[in-house]
Amino acid sequence: MRLACVFAPRLALQAVLRRTPEVHGTACALLDRGSGKRIKDMTPEARRAGVRVGMTVAQAETLCPGVRLVSASAADVEAAESALADVGYAFAPRIENDGENIFFAVQDLGQLFPTEQTIVQAVQAQATRVGLGTRVAIADSKGVARIATRARELVVVPSGNAATRAFLAPLSIRLFGEEPSLREALDRWGIRTAGQLAALPTAQVALRLGKPGALACKLARGEDDEPFVPRFPADALEEGLDLDYCVEELEPLTFLLRGSIDRILQRLACRSLACAGLTVRLALEPRGLDVRTVPVAAPTRETSTLLELVRLDLARRPPGAPVIGLRLLALPARVRATQLDLLRPAGPAPDRLAATVARLAALVGPENVGSPATVDTWREEAVAIVPFTVRSDQRAATQPHEPTLTIRRRRPPEAIEVLMGRDEPTALRGKETTARILVAAGPYRLSGEWWDDDHDGWAREYWNVHASDGAVYRIHRDQRSGSWFLDGYFD
């Protein structure tokens, strides 16, 4: 089995640079989050200015005036590790995640890439898209691939034990042992390269240096028994952000959300997926959570669409306290292709339609936006609203329908005055409509809902009338109160 190892060096610093891409190319120093007063890592620009690990903040600012001091939160590191895992899922269905290292099998990628050298280049390019700098190697085992990433940036270790041993022989022995005591012992013995270590008998090395020495000796020979234990990707992607100061206004919060949504969509793009649902979890000051689910009508990769949906939801229901942290949980899904119909005009894009529905809900309330549905009653104006969904199986009707009259109903019905003749109405007058009635058809008497405890029941007398203004109206008289109403007109 050929395995690829993707190593992200100095992951904590890269996590901060990934969250704040504007500091790329500037002198930036990472503070130790435990003490907060010592330098833990720095960018090359800060290193060239003289900043070193272990310096105090005052020393760093003296050597490099204008150095930017940053700190990496647990959410930053967790998001960077998840982004590194998504790089592996872009090339394999299962990977093994080891913090700053990921491993995946590459034997099936030969159908997509001509050589293994192009594979390592493609993996590094994919990591760059999610904001991570990586070192990539391909070898026969996990241990050899891990050592190769520490030795070179992009490397393909030849297959076979002899070729692997020849590759490892000139490498420094410091790449094979992480324990200081092991490195010190090998230095006293005069062992400088992996080839020298591989020439020693494993049993004697194990006797004097224990299990770490034996493992380093076997790895120097290209013998690695470390198992490859891959796992499937998580059901949802999470991107988090911990704030140093609380946010009380919508615009700054929207700015932070844009960056988080950008990063989570980049991770989804690695797997050729889109966002089908978004859950926003806000940490409030001093304590508490505000969790809200933002529905998405169709999977999308548009940052502006998701940001608009979240912003409208926050504007409609603002958080009850200042925000000190946020988490985004995105549900992945395949992008649904929109099939145009030859028999009807093209409708709006599903993601644009979702933003429009959300904007309407923010204006009039979510309970007033949806699709109309019939109600089990004889009351003509009764209608229900159900959540609006985009159906992918809708088809235009191919059989012509008989022409029918459609009533354009007034909501609510307009109160009018009606002049009654001997058997039928003869004239009507309202705020907007006044006319003589030329022809009247009716009455059609309906009643119901007297058995329902939530309603008092109703009893009406309906008339269809042709008025002198040329329109055909639907009017009714409430038999309990005797009042007349104009329901609408026929079109």
How does DSSP assign 282-339, residue by residue? EEESSS-EEEEEEEEEEEE--HHHHHHHHHHHHHHS--SS-EEEEEEEEEEEPPPP--
pLDDT for 416 equals 93
- Both 327 and 416 in one domain: the answer is no
- Both 20 and 141 in one domain: the answer is yes
Q: How confident is the model at residue 452 (pLDDT cuts 50, 70, 90)?
A: confident
Q: What is the extent of the structural domain holding 138?
A: 3-26+79-157
**How high does pLDDT run on average in the chain?**
86
Distance CA 410, CA 485 (A): 10
- 111: exposed, middle or buried (Cβ count in 10 Å: 0-12, 13-18, 19+): exposed
Where helices occur in 317-418 by DSSP H, the ranges are: 350-364
- Both 11 and 128 in one domain: the answer is yes
**Among candidate residues 142, 157, 172, the one where a domain is terminated:** 157
Q: How confident is the model at residue 28 (pLDDT cuts 50, 70, 90)?
A: very high
Distance CA 181, CA 489 (A): 93
- Residue 231 pLDDT exceeds 60: yes
- Residue 358 pLDDT exceeds 70: no
Q: Is residue 377 part of a domain?
A: no
Q: Is residue 171 part of a domain?
A: no
**Among candidate residues 308, 333, 358, the one where a domain is terminated:** 333
Question: Could you tell me what percent of the chain has a pLDDT over 70?
Answer: 89
- Both 16 and 120 in one domain: the answer is yes
pLDDT for 400 equals 56
Distance CA 7, CA 35 (A): 27
**Contact (Cβ atoms closer than 8 angstroms) between residue 86 and residue 270:** yes
Distance CA 319, CA 337 (A): 36
**Among candidate residues 305, 333, 361, the one where a domain is terminated:** 333
Q: Is residue 455 part of a domain?
A: yes
Q: How confident is the model at residue 127 (pLDDT cuts 50, 70, 90)?
A: very high
- Both 14 and 137 in one domain: the answer is yes
CATH assignment at residue 126: 3.30.70.270
Distance of CA 230 to the CA centre of its chain: 24
Residues in the chain: 491
**Contact (Cβ atoms closer than 8 angstroms) between residue 136 and residue 120:** yes
Q: In the Cβ-directed half-sphere of 465, how many Cα atoms lie within 13 Å?
A: 28
What is the mean predicted confidence (pLDDT) over 366-390?
78
- Both 306 and 434 in one domain: the answer is no
CATH assignment at residue 253: 3.30.1490.100
Distance CA 11, CA 359 (A): 40
- Both 22 and 114 in one domain: the answer is yes
What is the mean predicted confidence (pLDDT) over 3-31?
90
- Both 8 and 146 in one domain: the answer is yes
User: Which DSSP state fits 469?
Assistant: T
pLDDT for 399 equals 52
Element (H, E) at 71: none
Report field, pTM of the whole predicted structure over 0.85: no
Q: Is residue 253 part of a domain?
A: yes
Count CB atoms within 10 A of the CB of residue 388: 15
Domain count, the chain: 3
Q: Is residue 220 part of a domain?
A: no
- 139: exposed, middle or buried (Cβ count in 10 Å: 0-12, 13-18, 19+): buried
Look at the block and give the residue holding tokens 């930036």.
Answer: 28
Q: Is residue 144 part of a domain?
A: yes
pLDDT for 225 equals 84
Least confident of 265-279, 329-343, 406-420, 472-486: 329-343
Strand order across the 289-300 sheet: 237-247, 323-333, 274-284, 289-300
**Contact (Cβ atoms closer than 8 angstroms) between residue 120 and residue 2:** no
Q: pLDDT tens digit string along 129-154?
A: 988 999 999 999 999 999 999 999 99
Closest CA relative to residue 10, chosen from 53, 59, 49:
53
Q: pLDDT tens digit string along 82-124?
A: 999 999 999 999 999 888 899 999 988 988 899 999 999 999 9
What is the mean predicted confidence (pLDDT) over 325-343?
78
Q: Is residue 390 part of a domain?
A: no
Q: Is residue 192 part of a domain?
A: no
What is the mean predicted confidence (pLDDT) over 414-424?
90
pLDDT for 148 equals 93
pLDDT for 102 equals 94
- Residue 336 pLDDT exceeds 80: no
